Amino acid sequence: MRLLKYKWPKTAIDAVIIDESETVVLIKRRNPPYQNHWALPGGFIELGEKVEDAVLREAKEETGLDIKILKLVGVYSDPNRDPRGHVISITYLCKRSDPAENPRGGDDAKEAKVFNRGDLEKIQLAFDHKIIIQDALRLADQEKLW
C-alpha cells in the first residue's frame, strides 16, 4: 500500500475589535514577517482548539483585552496572503468586553493601540489586513454595530 503525503494550509484567526466610537484595535508585530507593521490581533489555532476560543485567546494574549464575538467577517484563503506559506484566516468582528479597558501589547505584539476609523487608510498594514478591515467595517455599518 502506498501512503500519500498530504500538505495542508495552516489555519489562523484574526479579530477586528471595534467600538461605538468607530475605532479599531491593532497590534504592532514583534516578529517577522511584517515585523513592526500594524496588524489585526490574531494567530494560529492550536490543535484541538475551537476557532472561537482561539480568537478570544489571541486577543487576550496580544492586547490584554477580553472580547466578545459579534459576527463572522469571513474566511480569507488566498494562498499568497502570508509569505510563510498558505495560511487561511477565519476572521471575527468583535468588541471589547469592557469598553473602558485600554489595550496593551503582549506575546507577539510589541504594542497595541486604538486607531480611529479615519486614520486606518494612512497606516501600512501587514498581510491582507487592509482588505479584512474594510470588509469588517462594511459589515459593522450594514449591521449598525457602531
Q: Which residues are catalytic?
A: 111
Helix (H, G, I), strand (E, B) or coil at 95: strand
Give CA–CA dist 40/30, Å, rounded: 13
Contact 3, 129 (CB under 8 A): no
On the question of a cis peptide bond just before residue 33, with omega within 30 degrees of 0, the verdict is yes
For 7, the grid coordinates are: 500538505
